[in-house]
Amino acid sequence: MKGAELVLKVLQQQGVDTIFGYPGGAIMPIYDAIYHSTVKHYLCRHEQGGAFSAIGYARASGKVGVCLATSGPGATNLITSLADALLDSVPLVAITGQVSQAVMGTDAFQEVDVLGLSLGVTKHSFMVRDVNELAHTLHEAFRLAQSGRPGPVLVDIPKDIQLAEVSEPEWPTLPTARLATSLANAAKARQLIAQAKKPIAYIGGGVQMADALPQLQAFLAESEMPSVTTLKGMGSVARANPHYLGMLGMHGTQAANLAVQQSDLLICFGARFDDRVTGKLDKFAPHAKVIHVDIDPAEINKVRFADCALLGDMKQILPAISTATQCADWLAHCQQLKQQYGWRYDHPGERIFAPLMLKQLSERMPDNSVVCCDVGQHQMWVAQHMRFNSPRNHLSSGGLGTMGFGLPAAIGAKLARPQDTVIAVSGDGSFMMNVQELGTIKRFRLPVKIVIIDNQRLGMVKQWQQLFFNERYSETDLSDNPDFVALAAAFAIPGHTITRKDEVASALEAMFSWPGPYLLHVRIDEKDNVWPLVPPGAANEDMLTETN
């Protein structure tokens, strides 16, 4: 067989049945092999869209996402998506075609040093120089993408390798990823928890990635401590848990931020003290000792000193440190914070109030729906006002904050979980970043629901201009947006525009009852901002609210 056919063979051996990509000169032999393959290829309309679809597929399913691109511009178009997958720890294998080895290094047509470009945005990258190493390299890429802290791996395959004859190798025996878990500090952790008067669990995306949600619920039930989550951790805590305080950080709930600031013990599960979480670092949880549980040793003490660190498999660590606490007063205090600073939806006027609309969407959407966001104000409103029962149901570009993520991620999520409703919630700025993927939805008749929250502005940037740049609204006006409903219609996707609160319920009903893809265009007031907000350089207790 040819090297190109071997690529498809390895994908099948890895259990891959869905891949995303875009063909071009240097990857044509692989596309020729796809022509007869049972692996289903989804043609996207831009390599970035294809890679985000692979990321959405991976995040919604827990499997490895796979994307393909050609050399040169095809490969460079992947870079943003690789960075997104690296910062959000998503298992992704990207396969790129490369010019033939005979002309490599000569600035050949569509030649770019993708291996060099990939260094800062991948967990690892391979260049295949010998067709006899092709199968082993691809298997190793899959192993690496999933092992330890997951991440993106790129395999660059020159065209002559794709065309070279190779005998079908046996499935190589790769070293099993050893997940060394140390429980040496478990006793110390239990002691810290038992002694704490104001403990709080700070939960990131790593708990779901470790498949440790049941162990987390058991830990929270036994310890009876309040909990907060990061953007990626949302959905980790069972909806029924009465002590969950919401998301913490720059746009977190006031209850979550105040409780963390007042805590005397912070137990960090699979999170990394991101600056959007901590605010001013030296004022973050200033009275708290820290227990840090993670799979990546490099995260320990990277940003915040850990008084006690436990490394390895969260499924083993959570039960090992589970301890009852005696902190009834603290729980009562946190409940009081939750009640005092609950969300209010009594927004005056007839215009649609996005937080209320998203709350209605959350209540109306079928159970186990997947919501894919873009980046900006709507992203924070989704995190604040929608509820999820699994992090796999809330796909948001957390670390990189990539506008244009939502629509292609929704395509991947829908293909991963065709039985579940998938909703892309986007802003008018973000939506235009990968709008070409409407073509992918049309081609494959994917029943993705699209909600565009349109304030005709780059809303989050505009909000910061208003608050911190003396209302100099530099380049954030998008009032010349296209007619989004007409745009959707051009892709045979029906849609509807709403502007008033009293239209929301029936519009959501129409969207969900329509069997195919649908675009709901929601016009909101450009003056609406995201509250609360921790200003840059401030401590998390110094939140700005609409009233101050």
Partner 1 sequence: MQHTLNITTRNEASVVERLLQVTRYRGYQLAGLAMTPLTDRAGLQITLTVQSEKPITLLTSQLVKLYDVQQLELASADVAVLRA
**Who contacts 425 (Cβ-Cβ below 8 Å, separation ≥6)?**
358, 361, 371, 372, 373, 374, 378, 379, 382, 406, 451, 453
CA gap 476, 527 in Å, rounded = 13
- Please report how close the Cβ of residue 285 comes to partner 1 at its closest, in angstroms: 21
Helix axis angle for 354-364 and 377-385, nearest 10°, is 50
- Please report how close the Cβ of residue 279 comes to partner 1 at its closest, in angstroms: 21
Q: Which is nearer to partner 1, 121 or 416 (CB)?
A: 121
Please say whether the beta carbons of 46 and 437 come within 8 A: yes
Residue ranges in contact with partner 1 by CB under 8 A: 115-116, 119-120, 123-125, 127, 144, 296-298, 300-302
Q: Which is nearer to partner 1, 144 or 508 (CB)?
A: 144
Identity of residue 87: L
Distances (CA, A) of 171 to 10, 133, 246: 8, 12, 46
Q: Which is nearer to partner 1, 146 or 223 (CB)?
A: 146
Q: Which is nearer to partner 1, 15 or 116 (CB)?
A: 116
Is the bond preceding 152 in cis, omega lying within 30 degrees of 0? no
**Structure letter (DSSP) for residue 477:** B
Q: Which is nearer to partner 1, 160 or 503 (CB)?
A: 160
526: nearest Cα among 347, 360, 351: 351
- Please report how close the Cβ of residue 175 comes to partner 1 at its closest, in angstroms: 12
- Please report how close the Cβ of residue 259 comes to partner 1 at its closest, in angstroms: 29
DSSP string, 166-215: ---PPPP-PPPPP-----TTHHHHHHHHHH-SSEEEEE-THHHHTT-HHH
- Please report how close the Cβ of residue 120 comes to partner 1 at its closest, in angstroms: 6
Strand spans (E) along 438-499? 449-454, 495-498
Identity of residue 223: S
Q: Which residues are catalytic?
A: 47, 109-110, 159, 460
Q: Which is nearer to partner 1, 166 or 295 (CB)?
A: 295
Q: Which is nearer to partner 1, 149 or 378 (CB)?
A: 149
Q: Which single residue is written with the structure tokens 């065709």?
A: 418
Q: Which is nearer to partner 1, 1 or 119 (CB)?
A: 119
Please say whether the beta carbons of 392 and 235 come within 8 A: yes
Tokens encoding 464: 């910061």
- 546 C-beta neighbours (distance < 10 Å), count: 12
- Please report how close the Cβ of residue 144 comes to partner 1 at its closest, in angstroms: 7
- Please report how close the Cβ of residue 299 comes to partner 1 at its closest, in angstroms: 8
Residues forming a β-bridge with 424: 372, 450
- Please report how close the Cβ of residue 119 comes to partner 1 at its closest, in angstroms: 5
Angle at 332 between CA 328 and CA 335, to 5 degrees: 140
Sign of CA dihedral 359, 361, 365, 371: negative
Burial status of residue 239 (CB atoms within 10 A of its CB: 0-12, 13-18, 19 or more): exposed
